[in-house]
């Protein structure tokens, strides 16, 4: 249903922002130019009556985003981690969107649990509490297992949440396609693909069985990470709309006063959050992609506890190496190498001038490194880098959207804990270690070994493949070779065979 009826939804978005008073606050936070500010206000003002009223007891921004629905709430959650962008006051107002939204009734939650698990709540749990946290997609109740008294957190999806998200995503698709038609220059940003990526992430978040699986995989990857904890999943008490995990005892990471009172070093916590994220993204290629304060706690011993695994990011090994080299190049201020990496990865068209691109990157990096620690921002770097790559024809990389967005969120969390944190200094040892382990001589040998192992699995099939290729090569020239084999297929096979044998011998030798 991605038709023009979505125009009403988009108009209502602007009207709601204007009616609740959030339009001016958001434009002030982003320092919108007078022309943009005036145009948006002019277009939205006549349609105020179409806007949602929202809860008048809440501040304007969370009031508007909550009224508009879950997709807009997600946007507000991201902004709540960036006081450096929107200001401390607005960030604090938006923080209620992380886990303090209006809950649905306990009776509805109990009915949902009984329907999903096939037994009444009283048969499974004791001390079933009112909602202890309510976010855009689900709410959480605390209880104890009837069989052994273990404290658990029970996550229950909001009723009708799937339909609500579908409505928002349909409107976003309509807006993206309209932009592509009316602004051809924006097609390089691939807005429709960006929305498709967002849709995939959200749809995965609406199946709690997938979240439980993500939590299990994440725990397997991070079991040896110092200063990091994950609550265990109770698989027998989880389903598509219900997930049960061990209860995580700790202080909210966003409550600086409570952290100070408990004696935690917020500077250390800020560094740990950033380094944990980088380790998970670069080392494992699998990371928590929703690391705002509402999903993080601090244990009594100072460990970071993460939960809510509905949005997880995955990047392949090649992309990790590219991203690490880009970060490492900026850290070393080696802009020529950063430019080369963009070209080698195909991020920038090959017909562009690598030297000109390197000079443009220097114009991005040097002003940032000239700032004091409290102003060095990954968000600023990504913003400036976006402007440069736009001039050089770089298309949006959908595989990096979640990584870049999470990097910005994590930086915001770290800076909220310790405003003077030096992002580059904290990131440098993690990125350096990854680069040394993946690009040095040992990494080359390891890659050769993996290649040999893959080729060796085809060993039993190689004689038959070579025979088939010989038969095809002997066919009359007028008879075209099958489309799946090039005319030089024999030489490809022979080369692969020789290569596999050579690498196998090399591995035995070393």
DSSP 23-71: HHHHHHHTT--HHHHHHHHHHHGGGGGGS----TTS-HHHHHHHHH-HH
| Residue 33: band (very low, low, confident or very high) from pLDDT cuts 50, 70, 90 | low
Which two structure tokens, joined as six digits, stand for 268?
């250390």
Q: Rounded to an integer, what distance in angstroms lies between the CA atom of residue 405 and that of residue 411? A: 10
**Catalytic annotation, pick one of 170, 225, 290, 308:** 290
The pLDDT of residue 497: 41
The pLDDT of residue 259: 95
**pTM metric for this prediction:** 0.69
Report pLDDT digits (tens) over 306-339.
988 988 888 888 888 888 888 888 878 899 998 9
| Residue 7: band (very low, low, confident or very high) from pLDDT cuts 50, 70, 90 | confident
Q: Which of 75-79, 107-111, 390-394, 463-467 has the highest mean pLDDT?
A: 107-111
Q: Rounded to an integer, what distance in angstroms lies between the CA atom of residue 84 and that of residue 379? A: 10
pLDDT at 145 over 60: yes
Beta strand 296-298 with 304-306 is antiparallel
Domain borders along the chain are 6-99, 161-204, 249-439, 442-509
The pLDDT of residue 478: 46
Task: Let me know if 290 is a catalytic residue.
Answer: yes
Q: Which H helix or E strand runs over 499?
A: helix 489-509
> Cα dihedral sign for 80, 81, 83, 84?
negative
Beta strand 304-306 with 228-229 is parallel
Report pLDDT digits (tens) over 351-382.
889 999 999 888 877 877 666 666 666 666 66
| Residue 114: band (very low, low, confident or very high) from pLDDT cuts 50, 70, 90 | very high
Q: Enumerate residues 6+ apart whose C-beta is below 8 A from 123.
A: 146
């Amino acid at each position: 249903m991605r038709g023009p009826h979505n125009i009403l939804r988009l108009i209502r978005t602007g009207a709601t922002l204007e009616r609740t008073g959030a339009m001016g606050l958001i434009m002030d936070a982003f320092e919108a130019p007078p022309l943009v500010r005036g145009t948006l206000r002019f277009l939205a003002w006549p349609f105020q009556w179409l806007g949602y009223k929202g809860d008048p007891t809440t501040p304007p921004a969370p009031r508007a985003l909550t009224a508009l629905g879950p997709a807009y709430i997600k946007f507000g959650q991201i902004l709540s981690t960036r006081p450096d962008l929107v200001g401390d006051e607005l960030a604090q107002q938006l923080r209620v969107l992380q886990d303090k939204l209006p809950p649905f009734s306990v009776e509805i939650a109990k009915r949902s649990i009984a329907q999903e698990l096939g037994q009444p709540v009283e048969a499974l749990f004791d001390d079933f509490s009112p909602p202890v946290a309510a976010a855009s997609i689900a709410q959480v109740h605390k209880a104890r297992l009837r069989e052994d008294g273990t404290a658990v957190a029970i996550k229950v999806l909001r009723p009708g949440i799937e339909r609500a998200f579908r409505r928002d995503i349909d409107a976003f698709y309509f807006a993206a396609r309209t932009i592509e038609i009316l602004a051809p220059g924006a097609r390089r940003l691939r807005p429709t693909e960006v929305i498709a990526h967002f849709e995939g992430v959200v749809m995965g978040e609406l199946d709690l069985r997938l979240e439980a699986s993500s939590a299990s995989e994440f725990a397997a990857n991070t079991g040896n990470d110092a200063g990091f904890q994950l609550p265990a999943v109770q698989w027998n008490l989880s389903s598509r709309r219900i997930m049960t995990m061990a209860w995580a005892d700790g202080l909210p990471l966003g409550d600086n006063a409570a952290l100070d009172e408990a004696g935690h070093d917020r500077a250390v916590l800020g560094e740990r959050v950033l380094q944990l994220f980088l380790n998970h993204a670069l080392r494992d290629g699998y990371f928590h992609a929703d690391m705002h304060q509402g999903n993080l706690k601090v244990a009594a011993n100072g460990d970071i506890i993460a939960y809510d695994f509905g949005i997880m990011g995955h990047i392949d090994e090649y992309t990790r190496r590219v991203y690490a080299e880009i970060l490492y190049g900026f850290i070393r201020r080696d802009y020529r190498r950063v430019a080369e990496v963009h070209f080698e990865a195909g991020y920038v068209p090959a017909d562009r001038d690598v030297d000109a691109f390197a000079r443009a990157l220097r114009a991005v990096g040097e002003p940032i490194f000239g700032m004091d620690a409290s102003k060095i921002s990954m968000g600023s770097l990504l913003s400036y880098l976006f402007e440069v790559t736009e001039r050089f024809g770089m298309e949006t990389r959908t595989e990096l959207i979640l990584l870049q967005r999470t990097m910005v969120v994590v930086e915001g969390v770290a800076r909220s804990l310790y405003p003077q944190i030096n992002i580059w200094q904290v990131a440098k040892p993690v990125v350096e270690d990854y680069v040394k382990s993946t690009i040095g001589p040992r990494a080359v040998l390891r890659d050769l070994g993996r290649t040999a192992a893959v080729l060796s699995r085809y060993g039993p099939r190689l004689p038959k493949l070579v025979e088939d290729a010989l038969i095809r090569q002997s066919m009359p020239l007028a008879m075209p070779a099958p489309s799946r084999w090039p005319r030089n297929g024999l030489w490809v096979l022979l080369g692969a065979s020789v290569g596999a044998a050579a690498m196998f011998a090399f591995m035995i030798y070393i």
